[in-house]
Amino acid sequence: MTPQGPSADVKGRTRRWLRLTDRPDESRRTDRGDRAHGGSGTGARQRAAGNGRGSGTRSRIDPRMSARRTAVIREQGRRRLLAVVIGLAGTAGLVGIWALLQTPLFSARSITVLGNVHETPAQVAAQAGLADHPPLLDVDAGAASTRIEQLPWVRSATVRVSWPDGVHITITEETPRFVASGPGGGWDLLSADGRVLGPSASRPPGLVLLTVPRAPGAAGSHLSSVDGAGLEVATTLPPSFAAQVTGVTVEAAGWVQLSMTTPILVDLGSATELPAKYEDVSSILAAASLHNGDVIDVSIPKAPTVTPG
């Protein structure tokens, strides 16, 4: 053994012993440092290891859940697409139906008119706005009825649409109640409300003649207010002598005179207080002995007079 052998061996063992004795201090220093930062060294390492494991677990997703989520998203997309397709198809269908209903196939090609005597079917159809055979979709039955009722002879009208191409019209015509004659002569038929129905070639029998100071207007018009005084009298005559009245004459001033079958004349004066005047006329006709041409004046109610003819 060389002189340096034992000495070197001792030095080596001494250094190993110092290193072993120094490690607990280092460990303690490390632990103290860890505790200063929030925990023991071992606990910190364990927590770090645990955190690492947790992060790894959370980052992994079950493939089945991922597939299910993808399937749900795809199904929602398909449903939205289906809704859009259905909406577009519905809109296109409505547009197509509307266009089809505007074609001649669904137009007013078959027009039936019932109840007409004086108005021709062509006149009724034209007045209803059906002369050009419009689409049934555009036919307003209420408005068409109103227009038809403006025809002179039509009292009421009913319009009914019948798909695919029919329109049925039923009208009720006026019944002439009076015949009017103006200064120029001739005769015009009148309804009960004074509507001019149209001219007549002769005086119809059985109708009261209404002689007015102004010629009646065109067919469809009504008598003027002055002429209307005679109409008011003609429509309110009492049953006691209405059948004996053959004519009602209206003067320009509005005074009214009755022509009777006897024949006698009755001066009513103005068309006011008619019930009282009618009562006076009834009393005289029932009690007095009258002669042709006599004139009964009841222009002042309750004070009638009789003038011999």
Q: Is residue 268 part of a domain?
A: yes
Q: Is residue 58 part of a domain?
A: no
256 and 157 in a common domain: no
Domain harbouring 164, CATH code: 3.10.20.310
For 92, the domain range is 67-101
Q: Is residue 50 part of a domain?
A: no
Q: Which contacts of 131-135 are long-range, i.e. CB under 8 A and separated by 24 or more positions? A: 133/104, 133/107, 133/108, 133/109, 134/107, 134/108, 135/101, 135/102, 135/103, 135/106, 135/107, 135/108
Cα separation, 65 vs 67, whole angstroms: 5
292 and 193 in a common domain: yes
213 and 144 in a common domain: no
Flag whether the pTM goes above 0.75: no
94 and 136 in a common domain: no
Q: Please give the structure tokens belonging to residue 133.
A: 């055979």
2 and 83 in a common domain: no
Q: Is residue 55 part of a domain?
A: no
**Structural domain count, the chain:** 4
Question: What's the confidence (pLDDT) of residue 41?
Answer: 47
Which of residues 154, 173, 192 is at a domain's end?
Answer: 173
State the 10-residue block means of pLDDT for the chain, 309 residues long.
50 55 49 46 48 51 82 83 82 70 82 96 96 92 97 97 95 96 89 94 92 91 89 95 96 93 93 97 91 95 93
183 and 121 in a common domain: no
188 and 156 in a common domain: no
How many residues in total does the chain contain? Answer: 309
Cα separation, 295 vs 266, whole angstroms: 6
Question: What's the confidence (pLDDT) of residue 141?
Answer: 95
Q: Is residue 144 part of a domain?
A: yes
Q: Is residue 46 part of a domain?
A: no
Cα separation, 309 vs 301, whole angstroms: 22
161 and 87 in a common domain: no
Q: Please give the structure tokens belonging to residue 289.
A: 């002995």
Q: Is residue 5 part of a domain?
A: yes
255 and 216 in a common domain: yes
183 and 166 in a common domain: no
256 and 192 in a common domain: yes
209 and 128 in a common domain: no
Q: Is residue 56 part of a domain?
A: no
